[in-house]
Structure 1
């Protein structure tokens, strides 16, 4: 039996629109907060039983059509020799950021089982516990987003150091992006082998680029990550970034099976730019989940109607769920989407 969400990824006929939500396992859930009181964030990621417990919490509570493994895009960088901590009020910090060519040369090869074995074990636990009909997502940061964190040493508003390396030292940029693409491919393949049946590549910061810079400095590496992961696994691949609506035709060239949309563009308009031969994922503004239920329902219905009954739509928020989102609203949204039928259906 092929799972509903996997059929949607492949644009096969489905009886309804599948739904999952980015950051569906997280701080808005009281059961998550109870676990978080006992563990630091990286401790949760690196203890397979805890990561599996948190992954399963929203499935048990709300019954989404897919689980996404509780992990983070940055810990794999530790395998290259980068020193990562999560600081209260500051977020992720890389204490030995990449600044000169010698830093790139010193990066170690990434070995999935040795570096990320805790996430792979969590995947195995979750796959065994999930309902047979529920898909399981693995994921990785995209090469550019990983490079941005590694170079900046954390989050950034301007990505100045990252762009300066791109422009002034293209040879170093190519070497770094090649190494990070190798990491992404190896990590995604290992996750599929551990039980993931769909994977998502998060390019969280690529929206900081112009379309021209994305095409020149980033797109070739995403294309390689997608092509090599698909050749090795055959599973559907989702590519997602925010603030990228000015370069949608370029995203079509990534080769991903499913392309994400954030809430800054109508789903119908974004899908038309991508072309209807790819699936789309999106795109409710996550802040909408704080609105009264009738407003949430109205906006969710508008998104579903824009899909116009075409195969290949996966309902999601256009970014991660926000802290303090009412759990009742998440429950009602999942129920509404799973029970909705496009008005034009027979």
Structure 2
């Protein structure tokens, strides 16, 4: 059995969803009430692969909302409690979705393996970052040529290059795709130098320096709300892959030759009888999902019950090959640019 741990995109969205599910006592509460609300297993699902394998899964809402990010102890407790519930339900492999994986990594929750009387078994959980990184790379490879961008000569900027997903994207684009030049952007200099040495190339630039040069921008860093991008300075055409969370790059730039694609999203080959992706504002909520969620499904399909994506900078090309092949085999495809949207952005 696979599990997915997620959350609503906002406090208001969470309250609406709670009302739909009949949790009136929570829906009517203020943020303080929600801070004390326990995680809820809200949905079961059954999925069949084109291979003929059928698996069962469950969606757990952590009752976390982004407005809680500033409350360190609350955010930490929300994620750990949701993980504890997944383990108590006997779920073999559970993916941490949305902010839950970010909280787990940034708040170093590996130091908190014991939750009340439960010792969390780390092999039951995955961040899903390997599949996310593979999907983003495939989105670059699939969509850049449709815009007339030749990746063999293109400059590809990776914003957040030293993160878990960003570094994996850099390794893949350098070794497997063979892009013209990688532009490496991140906050800290030493990790950038280490990455540059590891992949044997790439040019370290600031964001302001990289954006005007890039034919493709892979954005896997948190985007400050106050960030402003001079659209006139960008290349045309320019493919921007919004691989961060939340996905809001299209509110900063769009149109005029700038093509923004939601990164790290996959589509299953047929409808899934669930409601959970409606809160994630997917265009096709019966088929589309975050690639990190799909990783838990793929690991269950493959009977690979292990913390496949875990820690920072542990994603290898071999792991990306494995999860990518499984993704295709079990009926997932990457989200690509819509032809009509391409025409509108031209």
- By percentage of residues, which structure has more strand? 2
Same fold by TM (over 0.5)? no
